[in-house]
Amino acid sequence: MTHDRIRLAADFDAAIERVTQALADQGFGVITRIDMHDTFKEKLGVSFPRYTILGACNPKLAHQAVSAAPEIGLLLPCNVTVEEADEGTLVRIPDAREMLGGSGLTEAPDLSELASDAGDRLDRVVAALRDG
């Protein structure tokens, strides 16, 4: 799966806020947050750099996608990762067109337009993060 990779000069907490806001500006809410560094510490007793998975969802697009092909729920929400890096914070955002349109889960024709819409929105998130 292809994805965009954005390096932010912001610290981790500020990066989480910027990513969350950029997603919100495009109609995505963060419905899940998994702090992997905390999970690894708690479950395995190991230290790990700060790494968070944000589960982003646009309710309108998700409803349309799951209505067209219920199996698409396996790919939802759209996961965006934010991780501490040597210089700043690294953000990864998936290509929704590839994820929804080329998943191999379904042949539902209605998903092409939805994948394009979601992809365009996520492209704008990437642009906002790069410009910010």
How does residue 115 score in pLDDT terms, banded at 50, 70 and 90?
confident
- In this prediction the pTM is 0.91
- Residue 106 in tokens: 């379904």
> Please, what is the Cα angle at 87 between 85 and 88, to 5 degrees?
70
What DSSP character marks residue 22? H
Cβ-based neighbours of 2, under 8 Å, separated by 6 or more: 94, 95, 98
- Could you give all domains of the chain from N- to C-terminal order, each with its CATH number? 3-131 (3.30.310.70)
- Cα-to-chain-centroid distance, residue 65: 16
Q: What is the DSSP code (8-state) at residue 56?
A: E
Q: List, for residues 39-96, the tens digit of each pLDDT value.
A: 999 999 999 999 999 999 999 999 999 998 898 899 899 999 999 998 889 999 999 8
**Helical H segments across 1-132, by residue range:** 12-25, 36-44, 59-68, 96, 111-131
